[in-house]
Amino acid sequence: MNILVLVKQVPDPEALIEIAASGKDLNVEPKFAVNLFDEFALEEALRIREKHGGTVKAISLGGPKAIEALRTAIAMGADEAVLIEDEAFAAGDGYNTALALSRVLKKETFDIVLTGRQAIDADRGEVPQMVAQFLGLPHVGVVVKLDISDGKAVAESSLEGAKEIVEVALPAVFTAQKGLNEPRVPLITGVMKAMKVQIPRIAVEDLGLTKDMAAPENSKTRIVRYLPPKKRPAVQIIPGEAREAAAEAVRILIDVERVI
Amino acid sequence: MDKVLVFVETKGDEPRKASLELLCEAEKLAASGRFSVEAVCFGTMSDALREKLLASARKLIRFNDPELAVYSPEGYARALAGYAAETGARMIVAGATGTGRDFLPRVAIMLGTGMVSDVTGANWFDEPMTFVRPMFGGKVFAEVAFPASPVVVTARPNSFAMDIPEGIKGEYEERTAGSLAGAIHTRVVRVEETKGDAVDLTEADLIVAGGRGLKATENFKLVEELAAAIGGTVGATRSVVDAKWRDQADQIGKSGKTVSPKLYIGAGISGAIHHIMGMDTSKVVLAVNRDPNAIIFNYANYGIVGDLFEVLPAMTEEIRKRKERG
């Protein structure tokens, strides 16, 4: 089984995010992590390899710092990694991200592509399905269980309110959801290996793309500005003993807010 | 006139709420005279469902291919993108439900365009159109311009008002997409309903969520009773799900579901950022916590500093009383 895992480096979930330059930019506290859902994808790839043999290769699109996410993948047990290094594409929209990733995948031979169901920075949840479509491959989204045998996969997809058990011939793309597995913590030997390994970098030009394709003015969609979340007014504490406060809360919800 | 296709999801005899909200929004576009709107449905359709939809959409297209009777991303994408291409649609919109978010990206690529996912607001009349969508779990919102065509959008449930228009009597048309069998490479072996008929958290108007403060799985009955009294859905925090007190499907937050109800009641929830990210677009938030310094009070409109074991049953009782009085 040759398994490719698409990995994104994202700001740590606790990182402070501030709007800068009057909404034109973001200041992100420089604390980074592997996208949480991609960790489930990596772990699943390693488990499939343990069971069926083969190789696990981690692929990322990002700036120079994204190499750290790939080192984490190697530390966890991935055999190889490659970085498409391009700040413009990394900051681009879902279409361009998927385009660049699919171009790399076209150069590989593989049975399985695994990645997280969504990256926790842009929260788009578009790229895996777009990659699958660019490659003309089927996908199963939001997977919580994955069994591989005889050149096909049986995946349990967790849709709203229901679980769907889906069979698909390989190669195919799968997006990992929480619940698929418990990602391992890298062993010290893995970390040592990851520190030493040379991770190749690919430029978008090597993929038949040009940097200006990802420029905002040439993109299908572009971020115009960043906005703060709507501020809630300061909390109004409802005073009184439990029964009294509960009755007053119910009155407010029914008579003032009219939500129940 | 620019054509807008609204993908309508259905469940039994009911359209899904996210789809109805978009039909209401689309009707405003149709009323402007600048857009013509068609609702597009796949799979079987009862007479009752058809009548409901024809009261909210000026035109309803149903694709009757047997391959569309069950969901497949490739089949749905092929049929919707094929129809959009054939009719030169300017815009394709769907609810940002599990299904919508799963296959619309394929539609976008088939049509050679991009997409904006999970929008909470739209400026349909801007040139180019712009949309507002949350990023970083709602810590920041982005205004996204969409100069490419067609425009492909998924909209977060509960983001657009459900102003059901009056006096609409739409026309109905059945079509066949054709040649889908060879395009579908996934096969649904079986579907396990885990939640029965309860409204899914992502579409719920009213949510009562519980955290660690409930102390044990059996105490969730206090949350369930309050939810039942108001006709709401039960949610939970990550720590509660990790402790196996509640199913993963109930989890609200970064690694769970994102909800935007009219009312969110959080009991025994401290307000970890992971959880806040999943509920901060709720309209009205009431927090119940013993700790006056609990972070959740920073994200609430109303707070009760008190023991949830007294406050929740008292609220349930009070609501039942009010309902009896009518």
Q: Which domain holds residue B32?
A: 2-183
Same domain, B29 and B133: yes
Query: How far is the alpha carbon of A198 from chain B, nearest alpha carbon, in Å?
Result: 31
> What is the per-residue DSSP string for A169-182?
ESSEEEEE-TTS--
* pLDDT attached to residue B163: 86
CB atoms closer than 10 angstroms to residue B112: 13
* pLDDT attached to residue A53: 97
8 A C-beta contact, residue A24 and residue B140: no
Same domain, B108 and B254: no
Structure tokens at A36: 């949480």
| Interface test with chain A among B74, B99, B131, B140, by most A beta carbons within 10 Å | B140
User: Among the residues of B141-248, which ranges form H helices?
Assistant: 220-230, 238-242
Chain A residue whose CA is closest to B282: A232
Would you place residue B195 in the very low, low, confident or very high pLDDT band (cuts 50, 70, 90)?
low
Chain B residues in contact with A158 (beta carbon < 8 A)? 248-249
CB atoms closer than 10 angstroms to residue A103: 19
The helices-and-strands tally (H runs, E runs) of chain B is: 8, 18
Q: Domain with A96 in it: what CATH number?
A: 3.40.50.620
The answer as to whether B90 is a domain residue is yes
8 A C-beta contact, residue B294 and residue A225: no
Question: pLDDT, tens digit, for every residue of B128-181?
Answer: 999 999 999 999 999 999 999 999 999 999 999 988 888 899 999 999 999 899
Instruction: Give the ipTM of the model, two decimals please.
Output: 0.95
- Chain B, window 10-69: residues with a beta carbon less than 8 angstroms from a chain A beta carbon: none
CB contact under 8 A, B263 and A235: no
β-partners of residue B61 are B40, B173
Cα distances (Å, whole numbers) of residue A47 to A96, A146, A166, A187, B121: 31, 10, 20, 16, 41
Residue B76, chain A, CB below 8 Å: the answer is no
Q: Domain with B100 in it: what CATH number?
A: 3.40.50.620
How far does Cα A159 stand from its chain's mean position? 18
User: SS3 of B58, please?
Assistant: coil
Chain A residues in contact with B108 (beta carbon < 8 A)? 95, 126, 130
Total domains present in chain A: 2
Same domain, B89 and B214: no
Same domain, A167 and A234: no
Same domain, A170 and A236: no
β-partners of residue B302 are A236, B286
The answer as to whether A21 is a domain residue is yes
CB contact under 8 A, A172 and B185: yes
CB contact under 8 A, A250 and B310: no
Same domain, A12 and A62: yes
Question: pLDDT, tens digit, for every residue of B55-79?
Answer: 999 999 999 999 999 999 999 999 9
| Interface test with chain B among A219, A253, A256, A258, by most B beta carbons within 10 Å | A253
Identify which of A46, A45, A37, A38 has the alpha carbon closest to the alpha carbon of residue A7.
A38
Query: How far is the alpha carbon of A196 from chain B, nearest alpha carbon, in Å?
Result: 32
* Facing A229 at nearest CB: one of B138, B143, B286: B138
Same domain, B123 and B246: no
Cα angle at A119 between A124 and B297, to 5 degrees? 90
* Facing B189 at nearest CB: one of A139, A167, A169: A167
Cα distances (Å, whole numbers) of residue B221 to A109, A209, B227, B307: 52, 57, 9, 15
8 A C-beta contact, residue A2 and residue A141: no
8 A C-beta contact, residue B308 and residue B209: no
**Rounded to whole angstroms, how far apart are CA atoms B104 and B153?**
8
Same domain, B128 and B13: yes
* pLDDT attached to residue B196: 57
**Rounded to whole angstroms, how far apart are CA atoms B16 and B9?**
6
* Facing A245 at nearest CB: one of B192, B254, B304: B304
* Facing A224 at nearest CB: one of B115, B143, B284: B143
Same domain, A194 and A127: yes
Same domain, A155 and A247: no
Q: How is the beta sheet containing A222-227 ordered, strand by strand?
A: A222-227, B140-146, B129-135, B121-123
**Rounded to whole angstroms, how far apart are CA atoms B8 and B63?**
12
The answer as to whether A135 is a domain residue is yes
As a whole number, mean pLDDT of residues B197-207 equals 84
pLDDT over threshold 80, residue B309: yes
8 A C-beta contact, residue A58 and residue A76: no
Question: Per-residue confidence of chain A (260 residues) as pLDDT tens digits?
Answer: 999 999 999 999 889 999 999 999 999 999 999 999 999 999 999 999 999 999 999 999 999 999 999 999 999 999 999 999 999 999 999 999 999 999 999 999 999 999 999 999 999 999 999 999 999 999 999 999 999 999 999 999 987 767 899 999 999 999 999 999 999 999 999 999 999 999 999 999 999 999 999 999 999 999 999 999 988 999 999 999 999 999 999 999 999 999 99
Total domains present in chain B: 2
The answer as to whether A225 is a domain residue is no
The answer as to whether A166 is a domain residue is yes
CB contact under 8 A, A250 and B285: no
CB contact under 8 A, A253 and B284: yes
* pLDDT attached to residue B11: 87
Question: Virtual CA dihedral for B92, B97, B98, B99, nearest 10 degrees?
Answer: -40
Query: How far is the alpha carbon of A48 from chain B, nearest alpha carbon, in Å?
Result: 20
Identify which of B16, B22, B24 has the alpha carbon closest to the alpha carbon of residue B42.
B16
Same domain, B44 and B90: yes
Same domain, B167 and B228: no
Q: Domain with B279 in it: what CATH number?
A: 3.40.50.1220
Same domain, B246 and B282: yes
Helix, strand, coil percent values for chain B (each to nearest 5): 35, 30, 35
Q: Of B156, B183, B210, which residue constitutes the final position of a domain?
A: B183
CB contact under 8 A, B115 and A158: no
**Rounded to whole angstroms, how far apart are CA atoms B322 and A248?**
12
The answer as to whether A245 is a domain residue is yes
Same domain, B280 and B177: no
Same domain, A188 and A247: no
Same domain, A70 and A136: yes
Same domain, A11 and A110: yes
Same domain, B35 and B168: yes
CB contact under 8 A, A221 and B140: no
* pLDDT attached to residue B164: 84
Same domain, A214 and A239: no
* pLDDT attached to residue B35: 96
Identify which of B195, B255, B284 has the alpha carbon closest to the alpha carbon of residue A159.
B195
Would you place residue B192 in the very low, low, confident or very high pLDDT band (cuts 50, 70, 90)?
confident
Same domain, A76 and A183: yes
CB contact under 8 A, A130 and B105: yes
Q: Which domain holds residue A257?
A: 230-260
The answer as to whether A84 is a domain residue is yes
* pLDDT attached to residue A161: 65
Query: How far is the alpha carbon of B120 from chain A, nearest alpha carbon, in Å?
Result: 11
Question: pLDDT, tens digit, for every residue of B20-65?
Answer: 999 999 999 999 999 999 999 999 999 999 999 999 999 999 999 9
User: SS3 of A247, please?
Assistant: helix
* pLDDT attached to residue A162: 79
- Termini Cα distance of chain A: 54
Mean predicted lDDT score pLDDT of chain B = 95
Query: Alpha-carbon torsion A63, A178, B278, B306, what sign?
Result: negative
Query: How far is the alpha carbon of B169 from chain A, nearest alpha carbon, in Å?
Result: 30
Q: Of B131, B156, B183, which residue constitutes the final position of a domain?
A: B183
Same domain, B10 and B124: yes
Same domain, A82 and A155: yes
Chain B residues in contact with A241 (beta carbon < 8 A)? 306
* Facing B274 at nearest CB: one of A13, A94, A168: A13
**Rounded to whole angstroms, how far apart are CA atoms B45 and B11?**
10
Tokens 């999970």 sit on residue: B118
**Rounded to whole angstroms, how far apart are CA atoms A91 and B170?**
43
Backbone angles phi, psi at A7, to 5 degrees: -125, 135
The answer as to whether A201 is a domain residue is yes
Query: How far is the alpha carbon of B136 from chain A, nearest alpha carbon, in Å?
Result: 5
The answer as to whether A223 is a domain residue is no
Element (H, E) at B279: helix B273-279
Residue B158, chain A, CB below 8 Å: the answer is no
| Interface test with chain A among B99, B110, B135, by most A beta carbons within 10 Å | B135
pLDDT over threshold 80, residue B197: no
Same domain, B75 and B152: yes
Same domain, A241 and A147: no
* pLDDT attached to residue B199: 76
